[in-house]
Amino acid sequence: MIDARSRWRRRVLLRSVRRRVAAGSFLIGLGAATSVHARTSRPFFEPTDLELEDPGWVGFDFQMGVIRGRDPWRVVAQDLEINLGLLSNVEFDLDAAYSLEGSNDSPFTQPHATPDALWPSVKIGVKDWHDEAASRAWALGVQFGPKFPVARGSHGVGVEGLVLLGLLAFDSHFVVNLGLLNDPNPSALDQRPFGFECGLDVHTPFDKNDTVAFIGEISAVHFFSPDPHQLATTAGISYSPYSYLDLSVVGLAGWLNGSDRYGLLLGATPRLRWLGTAK
C-alpha cells in the first residue's frame, strides 16, 4: 500500500502520470467576452489543483459543451489548457477559451464569438508536509501571470494570482484557492474587472487505482468593480482508461447573478512527452 507521503509527491507536487480533468476547467470556457457597446458577465473564476506535470511532459485539457447563461445560451466550442512541466516543482500553464453566444432561445441563433482573455502563468509547488501516522499530507503552491486581451474591444494587460493550499486525506484531494484578479478592460467605456476570488477543488477516487473519481468545485468572486458577484458549484465524474488519458463529464449550477444558470461539458485530457529524455 502506498503511504501518504509517496502518494502526495506523485499526485500533487510532482504531477501524477494521470492528468486529472479538474472540474474547474469547464469554468474557464463559460463566460462571454464583452463588446464595445455593452458590458456582459466576465468568465468564471476557475479553481485549480496542485498537480504539476513532470519535467519534459505536457498535458492538454480540452472541454466542449453547452451553457445556459442568465440570458443567452452559450456553446463552449473550445476550452483549452496547456500544462508544460519545466522542473520538478515548476509548471508553465496557458489558458484560453473560445465560445459562441446565441440567443435566449437557442445557442445556435445569431451566434457571435466570445473569446476569453489569454492567461499564461507559472505554477510553483512551494512546500509540502506529511503526517505518516495520520496518512495525511499538506502542500502549498502559487500560480500567477498576466492576462492578455483577446475579445473585440478589450484592451490593456491584466493580471491574476492565486495561493493554493492542498490537503490529501483518505485518498481524496482538497485544494483551497485564494487570490486576486485584475482583468483587461472589456471596452473603452467599462471599468476594469477587479475582485477577490476563492474556491475549493475536490477529487475523490472510487477505486484504489483511481480509474474513476468524483470531481467537484465551489468557486466565488467578490468584485470591487461594477461586475456582479459570482458563486457556482460543479460536480462530475472523471474516467482514466489509460495513464496518459482522462475523460470527464461535468455539470454546473450558478447561484448569483454573475454566474451562468446551468450547463454540461465533456472533457478529454491527453498527456504527452515533449522532451525525449523525459521519464
Q: Which residues touch 249 (CB under 8 Å, ≥6 apart)?
A: 236, 237, 264, 265, 266, 267
Do residues 76 and 66 make contact, with C-beta atoms less than 8 angstroms apart? yes
Phi/psi class of residue 135: alpha, beta or left (left: φ > 0; alpha: ψ in -120 to 50)? left
CA–CA separation, 221 and 232 (whole Å): 9
Taking alpha carbons only, the member of 150, 29, 43, 36 closest to residue 81 is 29
Mean pLDDT computed over 87-98 = 93
Q: At residue 240, does pLDDT exceed 90?
A: yes
| Residue showing cell 477577490 | 196
Mean pLDDT computed over 75-93 = 90
Q: At residue 198, does pLDDT exceed 90?
A: yes
| Residue showing cell 485549480 | 48
**What is the pLDDT, as a whole number, of residue 23?**
33
Domains of the chain, each with CATH number or no CATH: 4-273 (2.40.160.40)
- State pTM to two decimals: 0.82
For residue 26, the surrounding DSSP H or E stretch is helix 25-28
